[in-house]
Every structure is written in C-alpha cells, then in structure tokens.
Structure 1
Amino acid sequence: MHDKNGDGHGHGNAEYQWNLFDSESYFQHYYSDPHPDDKLVMRHAVEALKAAEPAGDLDIVDVGTGPNLIPFFCALGRAKRLTAWEYAATNVDWIKRELDTDDMRPQWQTYWAWAREAYGPDWTLPANPIPELREKCTVTQGSVFDLPARTWDAATMFFCAESITERQDEFEAACAAFARSVKPGGTLAAAFLVRSGGYVVADRPFPVLKLSPETIERVFKQHASDVKAELIGIVEREVRSGYSGFIFLTGTAT
C-alpha cells in the first residue's frame, strides 16, 4: 500500500515492506488451523451479503484480500462478479495460484463447508467452489486508497484497514475509500482485529492499529447509514499470535 499524507502518529503505511510480504507464511500461520472465530466471522459476512440489496446477483469487491479465499467463499452465493483488490504483488500472485487449481487445500474445504452451512439449504452451492470462483473473480493489484468510487454493489474487507498502518488518519482514509467504493444503498461488511499490537510474517514486522467498536462506528457513520459494529470472540488470551478477537461492521453506503 502506498503512502498517505496526514498528521497521524506511529509508523505509516509506506514504512513497511509490502513487496516482501510472505504470503504462504501468513496463510500457514493464520488460516492453516481453522478456528471457531473464523466460522463466526464467516457467518456474519454471509448473513450481511444474503440480506444485501438489490435482490439478485451482485458485483462484489473484497478489499485487501491478502492470501485468503474466505472472502470469496462468503460472497459466492450472491456474486455475479467478484473482484479481489489487493496491493502486495506476492499476494496477488498467491491468490491467482490458489484459483488456478481445482484441488482445494484441506483448510479451504473446512472454510467452504462453513460458508455453505451459513447460506443454508435454500441456496444451491457447488461442492467445490474453485471453478466458479475462477470464472467470476478478477484479481486486481491496487491500493485501498485508490479504490474507484461508486463502482460495486457490495464490498467486504477482512482485516485490511487496521493492519496496513499505525496511523489513525491513514486508517480513516482507508475506511472512507472502502465505503465510497460501493454504490449508494449497497452493503458494507468488514472485520477488524482487536487487541493487536502488530504481527510478524517470516520475521518481518507489520502494523496493526488498536480499535474499539466506538471508533469504527464513528469513522463509518461519516460514509454510511445503519452502521453497526459488534465484538466477536473477545477473549483474555490471544486467538492467534497478534490478536484476541474481532469487530464485525455492517453498514449501508450513502
């Protein structure tokens, strides 16, 4: 992600080596062992997208996808088109490789089963989502700060805006760009890390901004209506190294 000017404190986005991000190490640490909190986040995301307007298939973007297929699993039931908007070239290549083979990793089989469960029996979803994802998904290399405005019907964002900077001004700029990328009346669904002091990928440090539901609601109410931020899975110990829970946000773009 590129630099954003502002008066925030802490290390800014441009100070980190995103071009050296080790995608496979990140996947192995954060997604190789499916966790009950992942299932909760997926359920919230699916419920938000199932209720998204307008009715019918949607053009959906996931922002800051990283080495992760979970956003696509959550969106597939509603998507006529999917866009992965991801900055790091290593992550772009990783996503393309994952979608290039029909042989899902065992972990993806678990996550996909959770997505199908969240959609419920009234939705017809394939046993293997990869071929359909490959057909519908475009992987675009781009910064969250450069998202085009009023382009998609719905947008998701899993652990992006708070994990690219330590600066509040950059976080708010990323959230604003995310919210503005959706047409008025479209659905916003996003998950944020809680109680995190940063994370390390293959011995390289990366940032996380500490957040509360109140902070997130304040930021998004400037760009959306019906904003709700809910704490999920908050525990006194870390879920995985780097965080101890999530905040899940929903809203309607204005």
Structure 2
Amino acid sequence: MHADPEVGTGAAGHNSDFPWDEFDSQSYYRHNYRTIRDDDRAILGEVRDFFSSFGDRSGLKGLDVGTGANLYPALALLPLCDEITMWEYSESNVVWLRRELRGYSGFLDAALKVLTGRGLGYSRTWDAFWEVLCEKGLYGGVDDPRKTLKARARVCRSSIFELPPQQWDAGTMFFAAESLTGDEGEFESAVQCFLGALRPGAPFVIASMENSQGYTVGKYRYPAVAIEEDDLRKMLKDRATGTSVRHIESDGSLRTGYSGMILARGILRE
C-alpha cells in the first residue's frame, strides 16, 4: 500500500476516531453525484455488463455496504435482486437514504407525476445514472426503477464489522472500505467482512478511491487508506474467481488527493 508522508490531519486514525453520525450527507451528495461524471459512467458501464452476464439469475438477496449518499450501486443490483439491504453506519446517511428512497408524498407526489412522469421515490439526479445502466443488458426490463427500488430496498444501520456471514447472493461496496479508516488492518478487515457476508458463488463489485489522502465533507476531515490495484488483487486472489481489477481514470475534478478509482469484480469462491 502506498504511504504518503504528506497526508494531512484526518487521513490517519482508526474508524472510531471520526464523527460519522455528523457526516454531511447532503453536501456529499451534491458534490459527488448531482451531476454524473465520466468516471461514474465508466464504472456504471462495467458494472452493468458484469451483472447482466448473470441474466439467468433472479430473486436474489443483494447487499450494498457503506451506501452513504449514493444510490447507484443499489440501482445496479435491481435486475438480479428481489431484496436489497443498504448497510450503513452513519446516522445522518441513514436518515438521508430513507428520505431519498421515500421521496415525495401526497399532493406533491401527484403533481410530480403529472408534470414529470416521476412519482414517489428517489430524486431526478439518479435518472442519468439509470440511463447508463439501461443502455444494454438486463436493466431495460425494470419497468419502474423508483417504485422497484423503494419496494425492494431496506436501510440497515450497522457497522461493516458487524456483517453476518453468508447472508447475501450478490454484493456491492463502493468507496467504503478504504474511506472509513486510516488504518491498513481495518481496511483489510472491512473488505473481508464484506466478502464474508456473501454466499459462495455470489457476484460482487468493489469500487475504491486510488491513493486517497483523506477527504473533507462539511466541516470535518475524514480518513483514508491509500490503496492501489495490487492491494485488491492480493486480497481477492484466494477469495474469488473470474476476478478483474483495473484503474478507472478520473480528471481530478472531484477533489484533490487521489489518483483515480479502482474497480474490482469477481465471484466468491465456492
């Protein structure tokens, strides 16, 4: 793992050292996902093609770990899963997720249906992400993604380190394990907890920030472990088959202090 001596305050430290319940979910959402970026498009395209290759599967139990203020990993699970658990630790993120899934109600919901064709469910921001998923593969078969995600998703407030073993049939973990601690051991444990929560034969996708030096959300600085592609390759070598780990180019406009993204996918070994 890449160690950077210039990492500032907030990049180091253990998971328990940081104010996760005060995470500014709305600020994070606006900064990261209000407009779809090219790196997200690239990730969505690969995830779409990977999950679409399991077209003979349906009715699975899906898991998205460290969901935060990001719906697109859960949207990527929709065609395969009748149930999707969003496993999130931060109280502020849990509140944000439940509100976003619920959407509007009453008169406002009816008015939106007339004006935009969109009713109860997540905000219009995610339409651009869903459009990328629908370019090919299984996703066009989902008639109403808002209604479907609202019906199938549940938000569970708990730590990644408390995931029960072998409960889910497919999984996603985006920008979570490397961004919840500055300690390499905790990062590795988080990845293993995610994999351990999946049943043998489960397809999974992990997206990570590459060489992250920590990040600021609202008034707080949060930690990171600076990982590279080989770190994930080594961790997945004995745990998965059909593994692919690759660099995703980023133009750096998201923030300073990272060198791109890493996308890893595979199937948990039987």
Provide the TM-score with structure 1 as the length reference: 0.89
Aligned position for 2:36: 34
Divergent runs of 4+, >4 A: none
Aligned position for 2:159: 143
Structure 1 residue runs of 5 or longer lacking an equivalent are 1-8
Q: 2:24 aligns with which of 10, 22, 25?
A: 22
Aligned partner letter, 1:46? R
Shift of 1:46: 1.8
Rg larger in structure:
2
1:185 equivalent to 2:201? Answer yes
Name the one with the larger strand percent.
Answer: 1
1:194 equivalent to 2:210? Answer yes
Aligned position for 1:160: 176
Between the aligned partners of 2:91 and 2:41, the Cα distance in structure 1 is 28
Aligned position for 1:241: 255
**Superposition map of 1:53-72 within 5 A:** 55-72=57-74
Q: Structure 1 residues 36, 167: closer, same or farther in 2, change over 3 A?
A: same
Contact 2:102/2:122 (8 A) holds in 1: no
Count of residues in correspondence between the two structures: 242
Q: Structure 1 residues 54, 16: closer, same or farther in 2, change over 3 A?
A: farther
Aligned partner letter, 2:177? A
Contact 1:60/1:83 (8 A) holds in 2: yes
Partner secondary structure for residue 152 of structure 1: coil
CA-based RMSD of the aligned residues comes to 1.9
Contact 2:121/2:147 (8 A) holds in 1: no
Contact 2:165/2:196 (8 A) holds in 1: yes
Q: 1:116 aligns with which of 85, 109, 134?
A: 134
Provide the TM-score with structure 2 as the length reference: 0.84
Between the aligned partners of 1:12 and 1:125, the Cα distance in structure 2 is 41
> What is the aligned-residue identity percentage?
30
**Superposition map of 1:48-127 within 5 A:** 48-52=50-54, 55-101=57-103, 102=120, 104-119=122-137, 123-126=140-143
Structure 2 residue runs of 5 or longer lacking an equivalent are 1-10, 104-119
Shift of 1:113: 1.1
Contact 1:180/1:223 (8 A) holds in 2: no
